[in-house]
Structure 1
Amino acid sequence: MSKFEIEFKWALYFTAFNALWLSLEKVLGWHDELIQQHAFYSLLIIIPQVVFFYLCIKAKRDDYFKGEANWQQLFVSGGVLALLIAALSPAVVYYMNRFLSPDFIDLAIDRYLMSGGKEAEAKNFHSLEAYIKNGILFNVSMGIVIAGPVAYFLKKKKPL
């Protein structure tokens, strides 16, 4: 087993889940008629993200470290997972904005303008480039925040 095979596998799983999550958002109307609710409800993905990190870090402890690993080893595993998810996130953002919801950016800009925002700000904040950048930063930062406590709870030493 290669050093980061487990993290890569779970990053692919999470990326596929993320694409499915975006499809659910579309079905629920958060990409069009209920776009004003998108910013709030899209954060619910953090709940399954914690589960994915838990499962990955637990698999790393059990399969790679043979059941015994300290916090630092498991935190590094979570950090690698966060970086891999972040590296894959532009593909998901592109899929959403080009195939799943091609009108999403225009609708988000319209909604921003209706709430009193300026057009230049709206176009700067709601662009494919901005969404890709925000996706990368969100996945790295949330991944690190999640990895710390998950690694703490999953650390395990051999009994004396």
Structure 2
Amino acid sequence: MNNYRLELKWAVIYTIFLLVWMIFERLMGWHDEHIAMHHIYTLLFYIPAVVFYYFALSDKRNNFYGGIISFQQAFISGLIFTAFIAVLAAPAQYIISTFITPYYFKNVIAYAIETGKTSPEEAETFFNLQSYIIQSVVSSLTFGLVLSALVALAVKRK
């Protein structure tokens, strides 16, 4: 486990930032009065996410591998970082949906139905805690796989 301490540290930092970001989204009104633009604004999270991946893999390069890291080592480190993020995604989503923005599902369901984007049954099936936990884990793994490869290219040093 000592070999993965840096990845775990950065996954915890990433998850804390995610929780802070969700508070920011709520305060900006993206979960209620500006919910129509939520799907666009929430994409802004990917900018700091890329920065966190860069910091995590750079930290691994500099403080574990002595400043030299291959693409393969960086990529594997990124995948481990991603796995920790995915494990933390479920409890993070629970905290978000229960404590930070407990009314989000009600609001997004109402918005989706009012705008004719979906039926009430489809909205209830898609916009709920269980669905969002699954989505957060799957999207963490998918995004993390791609980002691990891209950032590994940027941090590798021979």
Shorter-chain TM-score bucket reads over 0.9
**Cα drift, residue 80 of structure 1:** 0.8
- Is it true that 1:17 corresponds to 2:17 in the alignment? yes
Q: How many residues align?
A: 157
**Cα drift, residue 65 of structure 1:** 0.9
What SS class does the counterpart of residue 102 from structure 2 fall into?
Answer: coil
The aligned counterpart of 1:132 is: 133
Identity of aligned residues (%): 34
Question: Residue by residue, what CA displacement relative to the aligned partner does 1:2-31 show, whole Å, maximum 9, x if unpaired?
Answer: 110000000000000000000000000011
The aligned counterpart of 2:105 is: 105
- Distance in 1 (alpha carbons) for counterparts of 2:43 and 2:135: 13
- Distance in 2 (alpha carbons) for counterparts of 1:80 and 1:98: 28
What SS class does the counterpart of residue 139 from structure 2 fall into?
Answer: helix
Amino acid at match of 2:136: G
Amino acid at match of 2:58: K
The aligned counterpart of 1:154 is: 155
| TM-score, with length taken from structure 1 | 0.95
| TM-score, with length taken from structure 2 | 0.96
The aligned counterpart of 1:66 is: 66
Pairwise CA RMSD: 1.1
**Cα drift, residue 66 of structure 1:** 1.0
Amino acid at match of 2:112: Y
The aligned counterpart of 2:120 is: 119
Structure 1 portions without partners, runs of 5+: none
- Distance in 2 (alpha carbons) for counterparts of 1:99 and 1:2: 33
Amino acid at match of 1:39: H
The aligned counterpart of 2:82 is: 82
The aligned counterpart of 1:33 is: 33
- Distance in 1 (alpha carbons) for counterparts of 2:29 and 2:153: 38
Question: Residue by residue, what CA displacement relative to the aligned partner does 1:122-143 show, whole Å, maximum 9, x if unpaired?
Answer: 0111010011111111111111
- Distance in 2 (alpha carbons) for counterparts of 1:17 and 1:132: 17
Structure 2 portions without partners, runs of 5+: none
- Distance in 2 (alpha carbons) for counterparts of 1:66 and 1:52: 20
Amino acid at match of 2:111: R
Question: Residue by residue, what CA displacement relative to the aligned partner does 1:99-146 show, whole Å, maximum 9, x if unpaired?
Answer: 111111011110110121111110111010011111111111111111
